[in-house]
Chain A
């Protein structure tokens, strides 16, 4: 068997990390400063690895490209054609002037009540074209139940615009406002993503790397660049996913419940792994203050990091939540928890004299000495992290449930251990162990955990199937698939149909690894009308199991 040689690159806001792996061996790692041009940053990070490029079989990128484009609103002029029908006033969700509300109404079972008006759509399209719109999102309410309005609008305008995308292909989940946001952002960043993919491919191929290119998604899975071109919005917020997958790769945590604490300069990001699978945001992640349908990891951020500012408020010592710069011992302006560690002689690097100098006035103010003050600073930081972790676990456990079975037999999340990554992880380990009352592990290579997470994450995809045997329909919005449902269709048959559909559409979905299916949601109802059963309504969400490439975890 030819061993995979994988290049994983995590382009963060400040640093770009790269790692090259072969089998279970880390051949090389590098860390560089992220520059203005992301392609240059990638090349620099790859160059520093000092590896033979010819052997590379796969390249995975975790980038802030889409996130930045969305947050900084640096994307092409984007318009939307929206049909909503009755409900909450849809104009309240319009993100720009180029939003066009057209006629059309579909109900919760996917029945059409008001058809699309062709002239109205063409008119909206002309207006957008005249005003310089390049990308168009098409969204109708309940399109995941019946996509006919979205697809008829698409076929009417497809020749006028290079970039357009339909809401139902983004996600099979119900939520019209989120569908609007997701579709808008997705189509808006399509040109940016496409240009980026082709320049990265060109640059890599100049180095002699012609391996397929993959991107890390917010859900901790990866997908091929062709799928990323189609659904770039899935790459938003891949940073936390990279660290979570890195923690998973470095610890082989496939059983039990673990907290992952990524302790950075300003914040500690907390995630949960349940039997090796991260906990997801149930409805989708937020970006730029807007809610999307993008499936992403649930991460709780606490304003407590190694560089958090230490200050006094009404006579009480405070740590964080802000950061005023690097620690004083590293040349920064103000005291931080890192200075407390420096003052206690727990770190070799940095100027401990400087640390003591900035801590002294605080100690005097509080009438204590430097060692006691330092210990208090650390314990306050640790306490803030502990409170955050508890609040997060509480939040996960208070998710509403909809069946008596779940009400009487709840699955309660109780973390048994913690994985610590990030700069100050090893320093905080003994303190966190005492405070959390659980074993804490700081894995090796934690410095490049993110790049490693990107490198080793499996390709993933998710689809939703809805069968309504009364209306004789099976639909899968993500794959734009519609089939006839027989009267006797069973849930098991529906699942098999879903598995087959994923396999048949592997390239569209950007899947490349062996897939293992898991069912995320499953519901089946008899439909009763007038005291007799007229059909079955079945819903199922299938995902290919996220995780670490088996080549890595098997050994």
Chain B
């Protein structure tokens, strides 16, 4: 009988009756072999590791993180209610002290979903971590600072977008260089909005980076940054597609590497993101993460076909990563200098493509640069589907001036919109109205 060092909660929701389409990578059998491996290894019989039932996130929970166009029910399936609900349940277990840490092994994933949801991007409809984070902030005001470390091979552009202006959420993404992989973003030059400069950190790694490189970045960059930031809650967006067997990426990470990463990071909550090597990677990576969270020896967890010689990292890659980490760490230390010059309002224009649904969108964001609070902003979004909307976000701990400005934008938009939406975080009020 094995007793784990920590009490670890597991929310397993494989959604065996949901798929994007019968031959899509995000398919019914995706977590089948993970379940087989976890069951065969007797992981759930380890004293201290316990499985819990997922919950259901409702519209209100989803509206905390998103402007769903035209509304939540049009943009999601019940599977998203459960996968976001599974994350919320994982957070609840940790924050109520039922467990020390938890892993939401759920699907579908979410880290490509941005604040405005006109459709599905990168297999994601809603951002399940963000829905969880906002649920936590509303229900547990003692949680003030949150760090999200995204170890999916793809840049988590959705999570980056949602927390772009938020100085209380540190978002770090380690991923395959955007010049070689979807979604093509995630460079160090994307470091957050005016009031949150440096609080988005992108670490793009070259193709064929192995355990050595990713763990180097963890130890020499991510951990020092986290210990500076002192978060109240650490979340790992645990995508598993850095694995050497993943069919749609080019990295050389192993299950042992993923386990070690979590041993270093010690997240409070892990959330499964991508990872489509459903037979060769997921069963072993998930095992490794669960054992690492629980503090159980994972040194024997290995892929049966693992050949460490073949996966040895090129010394040139090692050098490159060392230099990259030094530069980003220097940038973090000097983050105050990253703040742009003060202007009352700042604008951003962006074009966003929803690859899963084939929808394109133009966004224009106006942000009120505030000294007293994180700053309110509004997003004008027009999609190829015809929906042209305005979303107004009044942030957590908004000052009176920002609250007034946000409400003014919401009440008196400067043109006609299909719908105008409001997120008022401190009031937990999410409303919309037709103009």
Contact = CB atoms under 8 A, between A and B. Distances in A.
Contacts of B43: 88
Interface string B262-290: 00000000000000000100011001000
A148 interface: no
Contact of A113 (B1, B36, B41, B304): B304
Contacts of B52: 398, 400
Given A87-B287, A89-B297, A141-B40, A526 B45 contact: no
B300 to A, nearest CB: 5
Contact of B82 (A113, A283, A407, A530): A407
A226 B370 CA distance: 82
Interface string B99-140: 000000000000000000000000000000000000000000
Contacts of A523: 16
A176 B40 contact: yes
Interface string B1-39: 110000000011111111000111101110011011101
A404 B36 contact: no
Most buried by B among A113, A142, A175, A530: A175
Most central of B40, B52, B299, B306 by chain A CB within 10 Å: B40
Contacts of A173: 39
B291 interface: yes
Interface in A518-533: 523, 525-528, 530-533
Contact of B36 (A108, A114, A177): A108
A403 B16 contact: yes
Contacts of B18: 404
A89 B300 contact: yes
A287 B15 CA distance: 33
B12 A404 contact: no
Contacts of A109: 33, 279
A470 to B, nearest CB: 11
A399 interface: yes
B296 interface: yes
A399 B279 contact: no
A283 B28 CA distance: 23
A414 interface: no
Interface string B291-303: 1000011011111
B79 interface: yes
Contact of B305 (A113, A290, A398): A113
A283 B44 CA distance: 10
Given A400-B54, A407-B78, A531-B23, A108 B247 contact: no
Interface string B79-91: 1001000000000
A345 B13 CA distance: 56
B114 to A, nearest CB: 25
B310 to A, nearest CB: 16
Nearest to B12: A400
B1 A289 contact: yes
A384 B346 CA distance: 65
A356 to B, nearest CB: 46
Interface in A399-423: 399-405, 407-408
A400 B31 CA distance: 15
Nearest to A173: B39
B300 A526 contact: no
B427 to A, nearest CB: 30
Contacts of B25: 528
Interface in A273-330: 283, 289-291
Contact of A404 (B27, B42, B45, B78): B78
A41 interface: no
A403 B22 contact: no
A87 B56 CA distance: 33
A172 B52 CA distance: 24
B29 A537 contact: yes
A547 interface: no
A174 B28 contact: no
Interface residues of A, number: 44
A85 interface: yes
A402 B16 contact: yes
A105 interface: yes
A191 B29 CA distance: 44
A391 to B, nearest CB: 16
B16 A175 contact: no
The bracket for how many chain B residues form the interface is 35 or more
A174 B39 CA distance: 6
A413 to B, nearest CB: 14
Contacts, number: 122
A27 B350 CA distance: 87
Nearest to B2: A92
Contacts of B40: 87, 108, 141-142, 174-176
A88 B28 contact: no
B1 A407 contact: no
Contacts of B53: 398-401
Contact of A88 (B16, B35, B300): B300
A97 to B, nearest CB: 18
A402 B36 contact: no
Contacts of B306: 86
Nearest to A142: B40
B51 interface: yes
Given A108-B37, A528-B23, A175 B304 contact: no
Contacts of B1: 289-291
Q: Which of A105, A177, A178, A523 has the most chain B CB atoms closer than 10 A to its own CB?
A: A177
A107 interface: yes
B286 to A, nearest CB: 12
Contacts of A178: 42, 45
Contacts of A86: 284, 300-304, 306
Given A401-B53, A404-B79, A88 B296 contact: yes
A188 B298 CA distance: 31
B13 to A, nearest CB: 7
Contacts of A404: 15, 17-18, 77-79, 82
Contacts of A533: 22-23
Contacts of B15: 402-404
Contacts of A108: 33, 36-37, 40, 279, 283
Contacts of B79: 404
Interface string B40-69: 111111000001111010000000000000
A523 B29 CA distance: 10
Given A88-B291, A88-B296, A88-B301, A405 B42 contact: no
Given A174-B40, A403-B17, A404-B79, A107 B304 contact: yes
Nearest to A286: B45
A525 B28 contact: yes
Given A177-B42, A528-B23, 17 more contacts: A85-B304, A86-B302, A86-B304, A87-B301, A88-B291, A108-B37, A174-B39, A175-B39, A175-B40, A177-B45, A291-B1, A291-B42, A402-B13, A402-B16, A407-B54, A525-B16, A537-B29
Interface of B: 1-2, 11-18, 22-25, 27-29, 32-33, 35-37, 39-45, 51-54, 56, 77-79, 82, 247, 279, 283-284, 287, 291, 296-297, 299-306
Interface of A: 85-89, 92, 105, 107-109, 113-114, 141-142, 173-178, 283, 289-291, 398-405, 407-408, 523, 525-528, 530-533, 537
8 cross-chain pairs, A with B, having the tightest CB-CB distances, nearest first: A177-B42, A113-B304, A86-B302, A525-B29, A174-B39, A174-B40, A108-B36, A403-B17
22 contacts: A86-B300, A86-B301, A86-B303, A86-B306, A87-B41, A88-B43, A108-B36, A113-B304, A173-B39, A175-B40, A175-B42, A175-B45, A177-B45, A178-B45, A283-B44, A400-B11, A400-B51, A402-B13, A404-B82, A405-B17, A525-B28, A532-B23
